[in-house]
Amino acid sequence: MVDAVVVGAGPNGLAAAIELARNGRSVHLIEGQDSVGGGTRTAELTLPGFRHDICSAVHPLAVGSPFLRTLPLGEHGLELIEPSVQAAHPLGDGTAAVLMRSLEETADSLGADARAYRSLMGTFASHWDRLAEFVLAPLTRPPHAPLLAARFGSRGALPATLVARARFRTPHGRALLAGMAAHSMRPLEAPGTTAFALVMLSLGHACGWPIARGGSGEITLAMARHLESLGGTIELGRPVSALAELPEARAVLFDVTPRQLLEICGEELPRRYSRSLARFRYGPGVFKIDYALSGPVPWTAPAVRAAGTVHLGGTLEEIAASEKAVNRGEVSQAPYVLVAQQSLDDAARAPAGQHTLWAYCHVPNGSSVDMTEAIERQIERFAPGFRDLVLARETRSPRQLEAENPNYVGGDIGGGATSLWQTVARPALRANPYQTANRRILICSASTPPGGGVHGMCGFHAARAALRGPLR
Ligand SMILES: Cc1cc2nc3c(=O)[nH]c(=O)nc-3n(C[C@H](O)[C@H](O)[C@H](O)COP(=O)(O)OP(=O)(O)OC[C@H]3O[C@@H](n4cnc5c(N)ncnc54)[C@H](O)[C@@H]3O)c2cc1C
């Protein structure tokens, strides 16, 4: 019998297994796919020699993660590369708002909004470590830095549209905030959306928005190697459909969402808890395209040509309209598009002189609409001539994403909707959200706090809960 079985080798399952193993517990990790990584894997999806990030691409949350920072992932082959422009947001007039590593440079680039930017972001950007202690943890835990938490809460709780209009006068300042807030996948008029922008911008200044040399998969491969060096074992190609299939263990940690947890362990969970899991809501889905290109994207705005990440969609009003449509269950014909240009800074991603491009937009959960034309129209709008460079493309609809990874229910890449209620009660309202109502069973996926992203913090907190609980 092992101390713990972990089901699912995404960044959170790996993080949970590592935290248990480094605390002396025996751990066996079981993954349904033939490779580790979940949403953090890389493959040649289009043409030979073009390496694409299948899901996650840009890693501010990994480099800013209080847990991942403690792991010797460099010794296991991981190298992070920071672009010279962390993120850019082109406007229709050939200019762009930019997120630079330096707060001063970012503020200065916003012209008349320089002071407003410094005043909004200064404190958060210079205190990321203390901010991370509560934004990357369950909200039910009292913060160590109550004043900082109060400052963050009073601003973050507001709708992004309100903060953008109240604080900024230029289209650049407003669009920059909108593009960051839209990572929430919620209408920008919704309370709490500013918190997403504050976190993304703070990370940009404090930690950068890096990519992994060779591909995002190198992050989870390094985690898997580290786990094995600690004595943990990994079994691939074994999708789990019932608790009874698992080896005997004192605790089982599931890197799955509530829907799968109910399918796998329903019989073992008290009815009241199962009912609250059944009420868990999933958010919008995504439609993704990976490109092999014959050259770099000819962005009109020069700053965008050096950016690791690009937010497309234009003004605050345009982005708010597209996110509102998606949350109403409609497809936006002028979508907010997230783009990553990994091959600009990492020669390992494409043959010499050629490039990869990673792009996705938000769509209603489970949508079957092909967004290729709408996404390419947005890229062409800010980079005329883009289409002439396309050597090959591969698209992924919400249904395809879910077929490849059951955690992406209806194409929701964040493990569940980010409504205010599900920020507090994720996956259900409990003092310890990782511990289910069955003491032996824990949940450690992005459906627990702090939610989606490659930070491993859900897995870390779940492992700590197991160490305080069944593995004590
Ligand atoms: C298109 C896309 C773009 C993204 N971009 C970014 C980004 O740039 N930066 C960022 O930080 N995050 C990004 N994300 C989000 C990030 O990938 C996820 O939030 C993160 O991977 C969640 O980690 P996890 O361990 O909770 O789940 P996952 O990574 O989804 O891993 C779950 C694992 O469990 C396995 N599994 C599930 N059910 C079973 C079962 N029954 N039996 C056995 N194994 C099972 C799955 O196969 C999978 O390997 C993106 C995601 C997608 C899809």
Does the C-beta of 223 come closer than 6 Å to ligand 1? no
140 pLDDT more than 90: no
Dump pLDDT digits (tens) for 344-392: 999 999 999 999 999 999 999 999 999 999 999 999 999 999 999 999 9
State in Å: Cα 139 to ligand 1 middle.
22
Does the C-beta of 469 come closer than 6 Å to ligand 1? no
Does the C-beta of 86 come closer than 6 Å to ligand 1? no
Dump pLDDT digits (tens) for 22-46: 999 999 999 999 999 999 999 999 9
Does the C-beta of 470 come closer than 6 Å to ligand 1? no
Q: Which of 10, 52, 54, 53 is nearest to 33 (CA)?
A: 10
State in Å: Cα 65 to ligand 1 middle.
16
54 pLDDT more than 90: yes
409 pLDDT more than 90: yes
Residues 117, 119, 123, CA angle at the centre, nearest 5°? 110
Does the C-beta of 117 come closer than 6 Å to ligand 1? no
C-beta separation of 237 from 34 below 8 A: yes
Q: Ligand 1, closest atom to CA 60?
A: 11
Alpha carbon distance 178, 166 (integer Å): 13
Dump pLDDT digits (tens) for 106-127: 999 999 999 999 999 999 999 9
424 pLDDT more than 90: no
Does the C-beta of 13 come closer than 6 Å to ligand 1? yes
State in Å: Cα 306 to ligand 1 middle.
28
Which residue's CA is minimally distant from atom 15 of ligand 1? Answer: 453
Report the pLDDT value the prediction gives residue 142, as an integer from 0 to 100.
Answer: 83
